[in-house]
Structure 1
Amino acid sequence: MILRDIAHLRTGDKGDISQIAIFVHAAEDYELLVRCVTAERIVAHFADLPIRAIRRYELPGIGALNFVLEGALRGGVTRSLALDAHGKTLGAQLLDLVIDPF
């Protein structure tokens, strides 16, 4: 199972910070999301990015997790030499994260 099977997301970027909010499609999948999508797993998934800090916010009322990734944009959107490795691209890559339902 991959993340896109149970969730969708919204992203944003400002300066050198990317924000990824993950929302479950069904409320019963929220605990699976909380258990399987940790800050450590996100850092490992984006191992090639110079993430300085990551914060995870749990939003059970709306069935979401919000991650704030500092340093993920290699100096900021307007300074980056990366070919569109910004919020939306990071979000699309994250939807391929393998999750274990057990």
Structure 2
Amino acid sequence: MTEPMVNVPLFDIAHSRAGDKGDRLNLSLILFDQALWPWILESVTADRVKAQFSDRSPSHVERYVLPQLCAMNFVIDQVLEGGVNRSLALDRHGKTLSYHLLAIQISIPKRLAPLR
């Protein structure tokens, strides 16, 4: 018998921070509950993040896994419209893009889902 699963957005189970260097965005993903690590590790891949940011046409996404912290770091190339000094975007640093990462939905066991 398989256990019941539910879909949750990452913002229910993790937080994120953003940074930038030129046209490169750096996003962390840090879990609130380490029990969810296996599902995050399997579900939140570089390809999944690249697909989430497809409207910004990233050239490459690299995922760095930090299992001792139950965290990941994503380096996303060419999503800041040239970076702080070149972009006309309102959020040239990409700080609000952490929320775009946290909008990804993943499937986790219902028993581990946060109460709403």
Query: After TM superposition, is the score higher than 0.5?
Result: yes
Secondary structure in 2 matching 1:41 = helix
**Matched position secondary structure for 1:18:** strand
Q: Deviations over 1:32-57 (max 9, x none)?
A: 11111111111111111121111100
TM-score normalized with structure 1 length: 0.92
Q: Is the 8 A contact 1:43 1:51 kept in 2?
A: yes
- DSSP 3-state at the match of 1:32: helix
Unpaired stretches in structure 1, ≥5 consecutive residues: none
Tell me if structure 1 keeps the 8 A contact 2:83–2:92. no
User: TM-score when scaled to structure 2?
Assistant: 0.81
Runs of 4+ in 1 over 4 A off after TM superposition: none
Tell me which structure has the larger Cα radius of gyration. Answer: 2
Is the 8 Å Cα contact of residues 19 and 94 (structure 2) preserved in structure 1? Answer: yes
Is the contact made by 2:36 and 2:108 (CA closer than 8 Å) also made in structure 1?
Answer: no
Letter in 2 for 1:84: D
Percent of pairs with identical residues: 43
Structure 2 alignment gaps of length 5 or more: 1-7, 110-116
